[in-house]
Amino acid sequence: MRYYGSALSFLALAVSPAVANVDAAFIADSSWLPRILLGTCALQALVIIYLLLRYLRRQPETRDLDPLLQKTKFQLHREIARHEATEELLLETRDYLSCLINSLPTVIIGVTEEGYVTHWNIAAEEITGLSSQNALGQKISGVYNAPPIPQEQIRATIGKGIAYTRDAIPFGLGADLRYLDLTIQPLVSPDTLGAVVLVQDVTLRVRMERSLIQNEKMLSLGVMAAGLAHEINNPLAAIMSNLQTINRRLSPGLAANIEAADALKIPFHDLVQYMEAREIPRFLDGIQQAGERAAKIVKTMLEFSHAHNSEFSQQNLAQLVDESLELATNTFELKTDGKARMPFIIRDFDPNLPEVECSASEIQQVLLNLLLNAAQAFQLAGESEATPTINIRLVTDRDHVILEVEDNGPGMSDKVQKHIFEPFFTTKGVGVGTGLGLSVSYFIIKEHHQGSIEVESKPGTGTRFTIRLPVHRHCQPPLRAG
Ligand SMILES: Nc1ncnc2c1ncn2[C@@H]1O[C@H](COP(=O)(O)OP(=O)(O)OP(=O)(O)O)[C@@H](O)[C@H]1O
Ligand SMILES: [Mg+2]
């Protein structure tokens, strides 16, 4: 615009002499000259004023706004840079948090108050096999059920604002049996209502805890049982021997008995008749049977309190299992008065099993008890749709052989499972079980063979006992008191 203004003023100045040279006659008329000159000057002045005005009207804007613009522009640049840095930091933090949540083995699921999934970490993906893309926006009940998370619980937790926790929830069966800790944590945000569901697999911890408790309990019980067995043994022996003496002294076959009766003028025949009329021999028989049973219990109690001198030798476990199966059939018929048959047996033996250094009679005793327990469990449960089946597996695991005895019987509740290895724990009726079978088995496997015995069971589905036996005996079995 500046150039344009200058050009116009130059034109105006140039025009003025040209106009002045237009006509000589006209010039000759000197009275017009001052007027023309004055007009030209006026025109020039007008152009200059116009240009000046334009300049003055524009100049203050550009002159004053330039630094302002510069300042604003600078501030804007600074703001944008700051925004970019914050955004980058936010993205980094988001990635870091997401990494953190995803690298945790715990299932972490974000849910709304209505139970719609808002967050789904990798652990949740792995457990369910469902990608977060497919899970987000779905109802939690439709995508996650290990364990099932009740919608009412989520709502109640958010409502109260207090975390809900449940420890060691059993989930699954047999080899898939897991223990899970569940926490529903309400979200602490003023404008969002929701919760975080955390599910942690604590199976290993629970098993270790149980095994530790079991070990402690068994050790103290073992010592106590040894003492008890000795204490009971002596009076019991006295009862049994006195009973024998009474029986002998009531026998008509002994001359001394008849002589003693005659001396008192009591006909021995009348005495025998009196005793029969009052059923005394039947009561004495009762005492005899109860005494024998008590003696058997004491003997078994002593079995797990004493270190045995049972011979250890190389044994083929498959053969041992087969022999035990044969024995079990006979014992089972005896124990059930032949009312029930042995269940269907499936044998699954590794053909390349190494021989195991063990006491054949003791391992057989354990096997017999496991088989009988399974068979009795079927019998106690009564008729069911599935064929009563016992699966026996023998597999090698490095320097151990694993023996599994699994039945599809009635199973056990968690409460029963906690006690089965304790001496005298039985759920069977009086006279059916003494509750010593599994405690003796436990000691045979743990103490005498340095192996392990574990149980997994679920009511209504079945029970599996897993025994691990070292192929080689590492050290002598510890000597126990008693
Ligand atoms: N396979 C099984 N299925 C269901 N319950 C079982 C099974 N094995 C054991 N149990 C439970 O464990 C309890 C303890 O078993 P254990 O062998 O120690 O004693 P018992 O069988 O009752 O008596 P005993 O073996 O001395 O005759 C049983 O009473 C039963 O409740
Ligand atoms: Mg038993």
Q: Average of pLDDT values for 76-85?
A: 92
Last residue of a domain, which of 182, 201, 220? 201
Q: State the closest ligand 1 atom to the C-alpha of 426, by its place in the atom list counted from 1.
A: 29
Domain-embedded: residue 178 = yes
Last residue of a domain, which of 201, 228, 263? 201
Q: What b/e sequence results for 343-374 when a residue is b if at least 16 CB atoms lie within 10 Å of its CB, and e otherwise?
A: beeeeebeeebeebbbbbebbbbbbbbbbbbb
Tell me the percentage of the chain whose pLDDT exceeds 90.
44
Domain-embedded: residue 146 = yes
Judged against a pLDDT cut of 70, whether residue 274 lies above it is answered with yes
Of 280, 188, 193, 296, nearest in space to 243 by CA: 280
User: Residue 157's domain is classified under what CATH number?
Assistant: 3.30.450.20
- Kindly state if the Cβ of 293 falls inside 6 Å of ligand 1: no
- Kindly state if the Cβ of 416 falls inside 6 Å of ligand 1: yes
Indicate whether 421 and 329 sit together in one domain: yes
Indicate whether 260 and 398 sit together in one domain: no
Judged against a pLDDT cut of 60, whether residue 468 lies above it is answered with yes
Neighbours of ion ligand 2 (CB under 5 A): 369, 373, 437
Which amino acid would we find at residue 482? G
Q: Average of pLDDT values for 303-328?
A: 76
Judged against a pLDDT cut of 70, whether residue 265 lies above it is answered with yes
pLDDT tens per residue across span 321-335: 988 887 777 666 655
Cβ pair 423, 415 in contact under 8 A: no
Question: Which pLDDT belongs to residue 337?
Answer: 56
- pLDDT category of residue 108 using cuts at 50, 70 and 90: very high
Domain-embedded: residue 99 = no
Q: Which domain holds residue 222?
A: 208-305
Alpha carbon distance 8, 21 (integer Å): 20
Interval between CA 427 and ligand 1 midpoint (Å): 7
At residue 417's C-alpha, the angle toward residues 412 and 419, to 5°, is: 135
Last residue of a domain, which of 94, 125, 149? 94
Domain-embedded: residue 284 = yes
Least confident of 94-103, 151-160, 196-205, 297-306: 297-306
Question: Number of folded domains in the chain?
Answer: 4
- Kindly state if the Cβ of 379 falls inside 6 Å of ligand 1: no
Cβ pair 100, 119 in contact under 8 A: no
Tell me the percentage of the chain whose pLDDT exceeds 70.
80
Indicate whether 255 and 404 sit together in one domain: no
Indicate whether 121 and 134 sit together in one domain: yes
Substitution site in 332, 414, 422, 426 for ligand 1 pocket (most atoms within 8 Å of beta carbon): 426
Indicate whether 315 and 452 sit together in one domain: yes
Indicate whether 173 and 227 sit together in one domain: no
- Kindly state if the Cβ of 436 falls inside 6 Å of ligand 1: yes
Interval between CA 235 and ligand 2 midpoint (Å): 27
pLDDT tens per residue across span 207-216: 777 766 666 6
- Kindly state if the Cβ of 433 falls inside 6 Å of ligand 1: yes
Substitution site in 297, 301, 438 for ligand 1 pocket (most atoms within 8 Å of beta carbon): 438
Domain-embedded: residue 43 = yes
Interval between CA 312 and ligand 1 midpoint (Å): 27
Most confident of 44-48, 169-173, 292-296: 44-48
Indicate whether 282 and 344 sit together in one domain: no
pLDDT tens per residue across span 354-392: 999 998 888 988 998 899 899 888 887 777 778 889 999
Substitution site in 373, 422, 436, 439 for ligand 1 pocket (most atoms within 8 Å of beta carbon): 373
Indicate whether 435 and 314 sit together in one domain: yes
Indicate whether 365 and 450 sit together in one domain: yes
Alpha carbon distance 406, 389 (integer Å): 8
Domain-embedded: residue 281 = yes
Interval between CA 362 and ligand 1 midpoint (Å): 18
Indicate whether 335 and 193 sit together in one domain: no
Judged against a pLDDT cut of 80, whether residue 190 lies above it is answered with no
Indicate whether 190 and 215 sit together in one domain: no
Alpha carbon distance 290, 277 (integer Å): 23
Question: Which pLDDT belongs to residue 296?
Answer: 76
Alpha carbon distance 432, 336 (integer Å): 9
User: Where are the strands (E) in 350-461, listed by range?
Assistant: 356-358, 389-397, 400-407, 452-458
Indicate whether 44 and 124 sit together in one domain: no
- Kindly state if the Cβ of 407 falls inside 6 Å of ligand 1: yes
Domain-embedded: residue 28 = yes
Judged against a pLDDT cut of 50, whether residue 112 lies above it is answered with yes
Average pLDDT, the chain: 82
The residue whose CA is least distant from atom 11 of ligand 1 is 420
Q: How many residues does the chain have?
A: 482
User: Residue 448's domain is classified under what CATH number?
Assistant: 3.30.565.10
User: Where are the strands (E) in 301-386, listed by range?
Assistant: 313-315, 344-349, 356-358
